[in-house]
Amino acid sequence: MNRINTTWVIDDDEIYRFAIKLIMKRADITEKTLFFHNGKTAIDCFTENLQNPDELPDLILLDLNMPVLDGWQFLDAYEKLKPQISKNITIYLVSSTIDEQDYNRAKAISCVTELIVKPLTVKDIQRILSAFNLD
Amino acid sequence: MKPSPVSDPDSELGTLICGRNGVASNQEASFGEQFSEFFSGILHTEDWPPRWYCGNWSDFHGWLYILSDLGIWAAYFAIPLLMLNVLYKRKDIPFHGIYLLFVAFILLCGITHLMDAVIFWWPAYRLSALIRLVTAVVSVFTIYALYKILPSVFSLRSVSELEAEIRKRHIVEEKLAASEFLLSEAGKISRVGGWEIDLITRAKTWSQTVYDIFELPYEYSIDHYNPIKQVQPPYRDTLKKAIRAAILTGLDWDMELTIVTAEGKTIWVRSTGKVLYDPNGKKVKILGTLMDIDRYKTNEIALSQSLELTTQHIQQLKNFTHILSHNIRNHASNMVLISSLVETEALDEYNAALFFKMKNVSDGLNATLEDLSQAIKIKENPVRSEVISFREITEKVLDIFESDLKVNNVKVEQIYETERISFPHIYLESILTNLISNAIKYRNPDKNATIVLRTYRNEQLKTVMECRDNGLGIDLELHGNKIFGLYKTFHERKDAHGVGLFLTKTQIESQGGQIQVESQPGKGSVFKIIFNE
């Protein structure tokens, strides 16, 4: 299986980020994983690297509830930047939400592949990778 | 008495003179002379003898003539008098003029007869001719006038026709009075009044209930009363605008507003108005109703306030639930994640044992949260119904339990008196799964387990799905309604979560149905899902 080049994990939960770091390392599916503790820092990084597609992610695991810029706001900002991005980026929402409205909202956004409910398991990661290879 | 004969010096016979007198002079006179002679000598009698002496009148013949004439005259005099009397008293009699002409005509006819009688003594033949002329003229006029009014006379209805009409109107009137009474009583009871404004004369009419609503006495003069002034400010302008619009564009109105009554009470009323047109399309009246809705409106306002408050509370609770569940789920999921990463082989026996306990706690917490979120989802997002087949869904669920049923030797009997139901597919599946898994789980090991699934309509014509087993049963006296509570278990079994029946109840109730249970320990249980159709 091909590995994913760059993965961004955007989540304010430190323990989750810690766990994901371990899982990513174990599953060994990505060359490089960057962590952001809210949507704002991630969007900043996007704006800085618009001209360097190599620095931009192939996969984003995005949390919904975050301080400063939450998942939805991040998606809004991302939609605005999208015309300037040459790279194909896959986005998964990863959240512990149980609100049906969140699911419907996620479905309505075309750049979001799926909303995965936490806890994210190794199985989920493998599923993401296989979907990646199909593309 | 017969006058004594006038002796004629020229007549030797001393008999009657009835011939021409001064014939020559009369024949030679011109018309003008004759005319003036006629009128100047209107009362002269010397040219003729009294009629008694003109011809040979026997006493009997003469008096017969005279008395008959007098009789006719008397009658002809009395008739007009009576007619005048009638006319004087009954001003409503139609064609007054014609009657007067009749009076004149009859009177004149009478006078000609009187004159005829008088001539026996007083031979005023010129006067007689004049009276006859006047009579003739009046007669001709009468004929003409009569001819003119004939069409309208023919159009007059006969007395019997009029009586019939009156009777008919009387019946209508009675009916009208009865319905008016009914309407006004109904209006009083329901507190709905009617009003009307004539746009041309500005005249106002109110039904009694309108007075009642304004708390004005019925004899109060409303000509200069402006009800709009009684409307409270925020609504006064709206009503004024509505009335203006009605007058200008013919738009109806229907609004709720508050008024201050004559006794100073503020009440809610409903005002409606509608423009009425004459046959030429001209706006002539505004017709409307006024309804006292104070009782309902006050209730409505109180209700909507409490609804608003309740909605707010529910929203707050919902937010609270979401935040809480989100935060707790976050921690719980982290715990699962982290514990999945622990390399247990590296732990010593003591720590490994502790860690497994911890992992169980973490899994349990996560499972509980999963159940909770399922229940919340059902309550918040009722799923849409579709027409589904009991048989198909049951077969599908039984397939899942196929090996379970075989291993435990459980017989399933299916009776479908009602085939279809409009219900969410996934709920029915989940309900059946829960009921069947319970029936298998709590079977009586000493008996051959059977499950009877039956659908039918009950006395209220609601569709019922019944699941009857011969299992362990539940002591309902002991547990009662608790059995549908969350995390309630009644058997010493490790795989009993106490979630299934809670979810089943939530699912069926979210669709307006209900679940009932009959059970006796040792004999089995019957669960009845009663659908809302």
pLDDT given for residue B24 in this prediction: 46
| Cβ-based neighbours of B344, under 8 Å, separated by 6 or more | B352, B355, B356
Q: Which pLDDT belongs to residue B12?
A: 44
**pLDDT of res. B18:** 63
Q: Is residue B264 over pLDDT 60?
A: yes
Has residue B448 been placed in a domain?
yes
Does a structural domain hold residue B168? no
The C-alpha of B351 sits at a distance from chain A's nearest C-alpha, in angstroms, of: 21
pLDDT of residue A2 exceeding 80, the answer is no
Does B160 fall in a domain? no
Considering the domain boundaries, does residue B4 fall inside one?
A: no
Cα distance from A113 to chain B (closest Cα, Å)?
A: 22
pLDDT at B219 over 70: yes
pLDDT the model gives residue B77: 93
For residue A13, what is the nearest residue in chain B, using CA coordinates? B330
Task: Report the C-alpha gap between A83 and A61 in whole angstroms.
Answer: 21
Higher-pLDDT residue of B321, B490? B321
Let me know if residue B185 belongs to a domain. no
Residues B484 and B394 in one domain: yes
Contacts of A118 in chain B (CB under 8 A): 329-330, 333-334, 337
- Per-residue pLDDT, B23: 47
B522 Ramachandran zone, left/alpha/beta (phi>0; psi -120 to 50): left
User: Which of B292, B309, B341 delimits the end of a domain?
Assistant: B292
- Closest-CA distance, B504 to chain A, in angstroms, reads 20
Q: Say if residue B119 is in the same domain as residue B34.
A: yes
Using an 8 Å CB-CB cutoff, list chain B residues near A96. 326, 329-330, 333
* Residue B402 C-alpha, separation from nearest chain A C-alpha, in angstroms: 28
Show residues of chain A in contact with B322, CB under 8 Å: 97-99
CB atoms within 10 A of CB B427: 22
- If one compares B14 and B182, the residue with the highest pLDDT of the two is B182
| Dihedral, B444, B448, B453, B457 alpha carbons, nearest 10 | -90
Average confidence score pLDDT of chain B: 86
Dihedral sign (CA A12, A18, A22, A23): negative
pLDDT at position A47 over 70: yes
Give the contacts of B25 (CB within 8 A, at least 6 positions apart).
Answer: none
Beta bridge partners of B271: B255, B290
For the domain that residue B195 is a member of, what is the CATH number? 3.30.450.20
Q: Is residue B386 part of a domain?
A: yes
Calculate mean pLDDT across residues B325-340: 82
Write the pLDDT tens digit of every residue in B15-47.
455 655 544 455 577 888 888 888 888 888 888
B519 with B399, same domain: the answer is yes
Specify whether B387 is located in the same domain as B372. no
- Whether B333 has its CB under 8 Å from any CB of chain A: the answer is yes
- pLDDT value at residue B268: 94
Question: Are both B450 and B347 inside the same structural domain?
Answer: no
Q: Could you tell me if B381 lies within 8 Å of chain A, comparing CB atoms?
A: yes
Q: Which domain holds residue B139?
A: 23-155
The answer on B250 and B310 residing in a single domain is no
Q: Which of B292, B323, B351 is the last residue of a domain?
A: B292
- Number of domains comprising chain B: 4
Determine the residue of chain B that is closest to A104 in CA distance: B381
Question: Is the pLDDT at B382 greater than 70, yes or no?
Answer: no
Q: Which of B414, B421, B418 is nearest to B457 (CA)?
A: B418
Kind and range of the H or E run holding A48: helix A39-48
pLDDT for position B334: 85
Best mutation site among B320, B329, B333, B372 for testing chain A: the one with the most A CBs within 10 Å? B333
Find, among A1, A15, A4, A5, the residue nearest to A120 by Cα: A15
Asked whether residue B169 is assigned to any structural domain, the reply reads no
Nearest Cα residue to B4 out of B45, B49, B66: B49
Q: What is the pLDDT of residue B4?
A: 60
Question: Closest approach of chain A CAs to the CA of B344, in angstroms?
Answer: 15
For an interface test with B, the pick among A16, A105, A118, A124 (most B C-beta atoms closer than 10 Å) comes out as A118
Interface ipTM: 0.70
The verdict on B283 and B402 lying in the same domain is: no
Measured over the CA atoms of residue A70, residue A31, residue A111 and residue B333, the dihedral's sign is negative
Whether residues B355 and B239 share a domain: the answer is no
B339 interfaces chain A, CB cutoff of 8 Å: no
Residue B94 covered by a domain: yes
- Check pLDDT > 70 for residue B14: no
- Mean pLDDT of all residues in A76-82: 89
Q: Which of B495, B493, B487, B415 has its CA nearest to residue B450?
A: B415
The answer, yes or no, to whether residue B10 has pLDDT greater than 60, is no
Instruction: Choose among A60, A65, A2: nearest CA to A33.
Output: A60
Task: Provide the CATH number for the domain around residue B463.
Answer: 3.30.565.10
Residue-wise pLDDT tens digits, B197-207: 998 888 899 99
Contacts of A87 (CB under 8 A, 6+ apart): A53, A56, A58
Average pLDDT over residues B410-430: 89
Q: How do residues B166-189 score in pLDDT, each as one tens digit?
A: 999 999 999 999 998 888 888 889
Residue that finishes a domain, picked among B345, B379, B413: B379
Percent of chain B with pLDDT over 70: 91
Comparing alpha-carbon positions, the chain B residue that sits nearest to A117 is B333
Q: Are residues B491 and B386 in the same domain?
A: yes
Q: Are residues B450 and B492 in the same domain?
A: yes
- Do the chains contact at B381 and A100, CB–CB below 8 Å? yes
B51 in the same domain as B62: yes
Give the confidence band of B501 by pLDDT, cuts at 50, 70, 90: confident
Rounded to an integer, the average pLDDT of B89-117 is 89
Q: Helices B125-155 & B96-118, crossing angle to 10 degrees?
A: 150
Residues B367, B455 share a domain: no
> Does residue B70 or residue B403 have the better pLDDT?
B70
> Residue B325 pLDDT more than 80?
no
List the helix and strand counts (H, then E) for chain B.
15, 12
Q: Which of B533, B357, B524 is nearest to B458 (CA)?
A: B533
* pTM of the predicted protein model: 0.44
- Residue B405 token pair: 């049923």
Provide the angle, in degrees to the nearest 10, between the axes of the packed helices A71-81 and A39-48.
Answer: 10
